[in-house]
Amino acid sequence: MLELIALIATVSATVFGYIRARIFVQRRLVFVDAVQSTGAPLIAGIGAVILAMPIAWALPLVGSGTALLFGAGIGAGVAAGRRGIRQRLPAG
């Protein structure tokens, strides 16, 4: 039963990170040139892992895998938001 709760927590943290990062990039970082660089998703993902690792260490049901998947979700969300910005902006 505890494994199922840990799995649900991991999946929900990953999906939450992806959705919130994508929305944040599309709404708030539209005119920021740095988000259009190729390293932006990687930097965001690594930063999220660094911030989530102490929290994952302190909680009993989640571990470092949860922090890594959360960082991957953030990085994927930033990449998806970046693609969305490019599709919405006019050429020129």
Domain limits of the chain? 2-88
Taking the model in full, what pTM does it have? 0.91
Task: Look at residue 15 and tell me whether its pLDDT is greater than 70.
Answer: yes
**Which residues are CB-contacts of 32 (< 8 A; sequence separation ≥ 6)?**
none
Contact 18, 48 (CB under 8 A): no
Q: What is the DSSP letter of 5?
A: H
Rounded CA gap, 69 and 51, in Å?
13
By C-alpha distance, which of 51, 44, 37, 33 is closest to 78?
44
Mean pLDDT of the chain: 94
Q: Model confidence at 45, in pLDDT bands (50, 70, 90)?
A: very high
Q: State the pLDDT at residue 92.
A: 62
